[in-house]
Amino acid sequence: MTHILMDNVCVDFPIYNTTGRSLKNRIMQAATGSFMGSNEQGHVVVRALQNIFLELSEGDRLGVVGHNGAGKSTLLRVISGVYEPTSGSIKVKGRITNLIDIHIGMDGELTGIENIYLRGALLGFKRAWISKKVNDIVEFAGIGDFIDMPLRTYSTGMQLRLAFSIATIQPPDILVMDEWLTVGDADFQEKAQHRLKEIVDKSSILVIATHSPALVEKVCNRTIRLERGALMST
Amino acid sequence: MLVFFKSGWRDICAALKKYDLAGVLGWQDIRQRYRRSTLGPFWITISMGVLIVALGTIFGNLFGTPMKEFLPFLTLGLILWTFISTVLNEACTGFTVAESIIKQISLPLFTHILRVLWRNMVIFAHNIVIFPLVLLIFWLPLQPIALLFIPGFVLLMLNLSWMSLILGVFCSRFRDLAQIVGNLLQVFFYLTPIIWMPQLLPKRFNLLLLDTNPFFHLIEIVRAPLLGTSPSALNWQFGIVLALIGWSITIPFYGRFRSRIAYWL
């Protein structure tokens, strides 16, 4: 039973300047007895999300809208489990894949095949399972013989195609996206849109941050608006 | 306290369960570093060999110890020290270099420390090849007691892993700590019997330089068996107690600050 429950979630980002980052300075401050005051100085806190209550269950297609810096990305990352709430709690049931950055962990020196295994491992797949899927991935990406060459020799488009093919090989329970992905040239784009739609349809919960009302209209059945980290409407 | 212990413990167990991920990441580091050279990681073996021969000739003659005795001692000492100091130095940046992954994908964070440990174990395995060569050159036998190096190495790893974890956490918060650790390790290189043999030390220095030096004990439990002698009871005790105390501090500490690491990066 896939489920997300956010209960009064707040996220504060500490902003450290170089003083706050230095152990030496901290010790010096403590030694000279000015710890409290200086602590304030080197320790600015930015509230990125405040008091978020949100419940999502199977079938929910949530669109997250709001201005730049409203906290959309932070919300996606809290749902992905990257940031733990500073206060409040979040419970997530189900396997999450986020397509916020589909390149993450890929390495230019390694060959296409090696990158498939590496990226696959980061997505949480077992080696044996990836072995079975390698041909599908390579074929879908349309990389051809380049697959045995280092990734750095690929064109940007090819890298994207490969990254996309790996990231979308298996629909997760919860899919998290920052804007709708578009990759590659016209031919590939059509194939990619088809694949993306397929995994969106197959995943039980979708959370997508976007600026496009048309997209919300098309794929979402719920919308929330964030303003300065707070929920405006559900 | 118990809450922190549990949350730290859970993360560590989850990372150990995903050991294959740490393995893949560690191998990738090695592949990436040596991809464009024909000899690959054996370059480190060669440079280590050169260093051992150079230091061996100079210090062996300087101290007047027979090469047959000094060179195997120096070989193991240097290889082990390189391993220990590289692990601890790289542990300091274990979380910071994995920033992009940590900020995108939710993984047990101990995985990034395991990655450092695994990568360096692979390099260690390349370097240790020199030791049988040295034995061969001097036509020295490997005693059955050498097998004791296995529990010794396990105990060394147990200690290095808690040190790495705690350093990784501290260094992602305080960025200048990595330099301090680097400096301290340099000092320990000279304080620990690696290029000098403990027999050369006047007895009264023993307590000061050997008995209280954790690195001496940790190196000794691996080195002594391979050289055909048994590590002292004190070596084992120190190693075991250090691991127990270290882990029992590290787990709750890690549990307390684990969730902050992503914010500190």
Structure tokens at B240: 């075991």
How many CB atoms lie under 10 A from the CB of residue B3?
10
Residues found in chain B: 265
Mean pLDDT within A121-136: 90
**What interface predicted TM-score (ipTM) does this complex get?**
0.84
Structure tokens at B187: 């000092």
> What value does the mean pLDDT take over residues A199-207?
91
B10 touches chain A (CB under 8 A): no
Under 8 Å between Cβ of B187 and B112? no
**Residue A9 and residue A47 in contact, taking contact as beta carbons nearer than 8 Å:** no
pLDDT at position A144 is 84
Task: Answer yes or no: are the C-beta atoms of B126 and B33 closer than 8 Å.
Answer: no
Q: What is the mean pLDDT of residues A79-103?
A: 89
Instruction: Please judge whether A121 and B20 are an interchain contact, meaning their C-beta atoms are less than 8 angstroms apart.
Output: yes
Provide mean pLDDT across the span A227-233: 84
Q: Is residue B7 classed as helix, strand or coil in its secondary structure?
A: helix
Closest-approach residue (CA) in chain B for A109? B32
Residues A197-216: what's their mean pLDDT? Answer: 90
**Residue A110 forms contact with B (CB below 8 Å):** yes
The residue among A90, A81, A77 whose CA lies nearest residue A8 is A90
What is the nearest CA distance from A116 to chain B, expressed in angstroms?
11
Per-residue pLDDT 10s for chain B (265 aa) are 888 999 999 999 999 999 989 999 998 888 888 877 777 778 888 999 999 999 999 998 998 888 999 999 999 999 999 999 999 999 999 999 999 899 888 899 999 999 999 999 999 999 999 999 999 999 988 888 999 999 999 999 999 999 999 999 999 999 889 999 999 999 999 999 999 888 888 877 777 778 889 999 999 999 999 999 999 999 999 999 999 999 999 999 999 999 999 988 8
The pLDDT > 70 percentage for chain A reads: 91
- Overall average pLDDT of the A38-44 stretch: 55
Residues 6 or more apart in contact with residue A217 via CB below 8 angstroms: none
Separation CA A14–CA A46 (nearest Å): 6
Bridge partners of A62? Answer: A207, A222
> What number is the average pLDDT over the span A208-212?
91
- In terms of pLDDT, which residue wins out, B14 or A25? B14
pLDDT number for residue A34: 46
DSSP string, chain A: --EEEEEEEEEEEEEE-HHHH-HHHHHHHHHHT-HHHHHHHTEEEEEEEEEEEEEEETT-EEEEEE-TTSSHHHHHHHHHTSSPPSEEEEEEES-EEE-S-TTTT--TTSBHHHHHHHHHHHTT--HHHHHHHHHHHHHHHT-GGGGGSBGGGS-HHHHHHHHHHHHTSS--SEEEEES----SSHHHHHHHHHHHHHHHHHSSEEEEE-S-HHHHHHH-SEEEEEETTEEEE-
Please judge whether B20 and A77 are an interchain contact, meaning their C-beta atoms are less than 8 angstroms apart: no
What pTM does this model have?
0.89
Is A19 a residue whose pLDDT tops 80? no
Half-sphere exposure (CA, 13 Å, Cβ side) for A81?
A: 18
Buried b (16+ CB within 10 A) or exposed e, B139-170: ebeeeeeeebbeebbebbbbbbbbbbbbbbbb
Given CB atoms, is B104 within the 8 Å cutoff of chain A? Answer: yes
Q: What average pLDDT score do residues A194-210 get?
A: 91
- Cβ neighbours of B15 in A, within 8 Å: none
The answer to whether residues B62 and B195 touch, using CB atoms and an 8 Å cutoff, is no
| CA of B173 vs chain A CAs: smallest distance (Å) | 6
In this structure, which amino acid lies at residue B240? Answer: I
Residue A27 has pLDDT above 80, yes or no: no
Whether residue B263 and residue A13 make contact (CB cut-off 8 A), yes or no, is: yes
Give me the pLDDT at residue B167, please: 96
Q: Which residue from B104, B173, B174 is facing A100, i.e. has the nearest CB?
A: B104
Of B50 and A69, which is predicted with more confidence? B50
Across A95-99, A149-153, B89-93, the highest mean pLDDT is recorded for: B89-93
* pLDDT tier at A185, thresholds 50, 70, 90: confident
**A145 inside 8 A of chain B by CB:** no
